[in-house]
Amino acid sequence: MHCSDRTTHWLTPLSGFRTASSANLRVSASLRQATIACLVMLAAIGQEATNAAEPVVAKAQQRRVDVLKKISPAVVAIFGNGGQGGGSGVVISADGYALSNFHVTSGSGDFMKCGLNDGVLYDAVIVGIDPTGDVALIKLLGRDDFPFATIGDSDKVKVGDWAYAIGNPFLLATDFHPTVTYGIVSGVHRYQYPAGSFLEYADCIQVDSSINPGNSGGPLFNDAGELVGINGRGSFEKRGRVNSGAGYAISINQIMHFLDHLRSGRIVDHATLGATVTSDGDGRVVVSSILESSEAYRRGLRLDDEIVSFAGRNVRSVNQFKNVLGIYPKGWRLPLTYRRDEQKYSIKARLRGVHTKADMMPKQGPGSPPKNPHKEDPAKKKKDTTPEAYKHMFVKKDGFANHWFNQEEQKRLLPLVTRWGDFGSLNGLWKIAGQTGDSDDFSLTLSDRGLGLQMRNDVFFQPLDGSDFLDEPPGSGGLLVAMHHLRLMLQKQSDGFSEFYYLGSEPLDLTGEMVDVLVTTLTGVETRWYFARNPAAFVGMSCQITEDAEECEVYFGTVDQFENRFFPGQIIVRSGGREYLRLNVSQLDLASSP
């Protein structure tokens, strides 16, 4: 059979089919033409979409480039003084304060070298550390116009938000130009259990932006280029020391609660309520144990009470409670709402510390900075290269990362006390008189031998002969002792007390405003001194005669001029969360030593 014959034979039945189905053939041809037309149209639409998308994509890309250009100058590559250790950080103020991780700075020394992407290597000194929260504050030296990051609001971060992690992974940024990774927020309000007894990550941000050893201490930025966290931990277990897609950043809101504490140069501690909680069979978060010495107990919290909210955040699980508790410093007084027998109660409780003073000198814990692949042989270790001009900025003292910065904060606040006038020579009898808020006459006397208050037909006395300090008048928390300490502060400032330091800041119980706090101790009595910020003023104090007693809170309603000195014209006295007394001062007689 020839090829042509075979072809004719093969076409014969098909030819017959076409003859028998000519109508179908016409439909098929029309469908084919319509399909082709649709494909052409879709291709055109696709091209138009591509043409339209290209500017959108290019604009988004350019926006990322612009954001990174803006934020990268504030990112710090940290190298230990002498070439030991290192990691990342971020500058947060023009005068050079920068944040990093405790586990980075603990391996880098008291002085370190910090590179910015301007190509300059700056000297830096440790300021304060938070071992539990794994945060450190350092200060870059040599300029007062450093580029710095804009602080964001980590409570506004949502799952799915874009996030930049920037830093010095594996200490590769030897040219000080940081590495950038881009990803999304994978989770918020994560709780990471402590590594050992420290490094508890509460209320942290989980991201899939690559975080590797060396990224520790570096910034996490949102898509707008705002600082929302400090990178510190990753889920590395059983996966090697490389990114696994689950990294964790300490929320910037937590760090801001601690920032002034860190500026104090201290080793700061986190808070506990003095109570533990558990979930009951109904899913409620209830108190499972409580210290009777805690302020929460003194103000009404008991076993089996249900925790409803803490610090303004609703509590529906044990993890939620740990998250919100873990972001506050020791010593803050915060609101707590609890339920008992279907009745709600609200109190404010001052938070206790998680650790003892002995605990607060930790060794470097888990999460140590990576080894520097470029460091020299230990036998050739470089000597300390810190310039002599900066060495005075580190002062060693127990309980402090760097006491020098605490001294500087004291110098900032003490003029707010001394501007009331010169009280230094007035060591004789002080007599303060006027009327109470109930229009009763009062007379308060202060001397080195004893303290007295006459009010209505009552007389209260506190000897200063080594006797125990008393809650006089009863229920005031020890007003007489508080006024004695005010006298010492006005006369002698730091010389009047056995311990004197800047604490940081905290919300004032009376108004809720943030105030700076100095702390003094003398013969077992601790007093907090409060300084408003805007305008700057000495506004009050709280005195605690024993560790487990209710405080006597003294607020200066007004400060008036009495001849050539200033003194509170109105004294508001509170204790146990309630106002106890108001004293309106009309007479002030201050005698010199006889």
Q: Are the CB atoms for 100 and 127 separated by under 8 Å?
A: no
pLDDT, tens digit (0-9, with 9 covering 90-100), for 370-420: 444 334 444 445 567 788 999 999 999 999 999 999 999 999 999 999 999
- How many Cβ atoms from other residues are within 10 Å of residue 514's Cβ? 16
Q: Are the CB atoms for 397 and 542 separated by under 8 Å?
A: no
| pTM score, whole prediction | 0.85
Residue 381: its pLDDT value, please? 53
Active-site pick, 100, 106, 216, 294 = 216
Question: Per CATH, which fold does 271-353 belong to?
Answer: Pdz3 Domain (2.30.42)
In a 3-state reduction of DSSP, which class is residue 274? coil
What is the spatial distance between Cα 94 and Cα 148, in angstroms, rounded to a whole number?
A: 6
Active-site pick, 88, 100, 103, 108 = 103
Region of poorest pLDDT, from 101-115, 147-161, 297-311, 487-501? 101-115
Active-site pick, 123, 130, 134, 269 = 134
Q: Are the CB atoms for 504 and 517 separated by under 8 Å?
A: yes
Domain boundaries, the chain: 3-63, 150-256, 271-353, 415-590
Q: Can you identify the CATH homologous superfamily of domain 150-256?
A: Trypsin-like serine proteases (2.40.10.10)
Q: Are the CB atoms for 358 and 310 separated by under 8 Å?
A: no
Give the N- to C-terminal CA distance of the chain in Å, as an integer.
Answer: 144
**Is 392 annotated in the active site?**
no
What is the spatial distance between Cα 261 and Cα 343, in angstroms, rounded to a whole number?
A: 37
**Is 134 annotated in the active site?**
yes
Question: Per CATH, which fold does 415-590 belong to?
Answer: outer membrane lipoprotein receptor (LolB), chain A (2.50.20)
pLDDT, tens digit (0-9, with 9 covering 90-100), for 281-301: 888 999 999 999 999 999 999
Q: Strands of 441-446's sheet, edge to edge?
A: 458-463, 450-455, 441-446, 430-436, 578-590, 565-575, 552-562, 536-544, 525-533, 514-522, 499-507
- How many Cβ atoms from other residues are within 10 Å of residue 84's Cβ? 19
pLDDT, tens digit (0-9, with 9 covering 90-100), for 500-519: 999 999 999 888 999 999 99
In a 3-state reduction of DSSP, which class is residue 410? helix
**Is 542 annotated in the active site?**
no
pLDDT at 51 over 90: no
DSSP string, 423-455: -TT--S-EEEEEEETTS-EEEEEE-SSEEEEEE
Residues 516-543 as b/e (b if ≥16 CB within 10 A, e otherwise) read: bbbbbebeebbbbbbbbeeeeebbbbbb
pLDDT, tens digit (0-9, with 9 covering 90-100), for 56-90: 788 888 888 999 999 999 999 998 876 666 899 99
Give the residue, 258 or 385, on which the prediction is more confident.
258
**What are the phi and psi torsion angles at 458 (to 5°)?**
-105, 145
What is the spatial distance between Cα 416 and Cα 537, in angstroms, rounded to a whole number?
A: 6
pLDDT at 545 over 80: yes
In a 3-state reduction of DSSP, which class is residue 276? strand
- Give the pairing type, strands 313-314 and 333-340: unpaired
In a 3-state reduction of DSSP, which class is residue 198? strand
pLDDT, tens digit (0-9, with 9 covering 90-100), for 447-480: 999 999 999 889 999 999 989 999 999 999 999 9
Residue 563: its pLDDT value, please? 87
Average pLDDT, the chain: 86
What is the spatial distance between Cα 200 and Cα 323, in angstroms, rounded to a whole number?
A: 10
Q: Are the CB atoms for 491 and 448 separated by under 8 Å?
A: no
Helices (H), 72-154: 102-105
Q: Are the CB atoms for 234 and 244 separated by under 8 Å?
A: yes
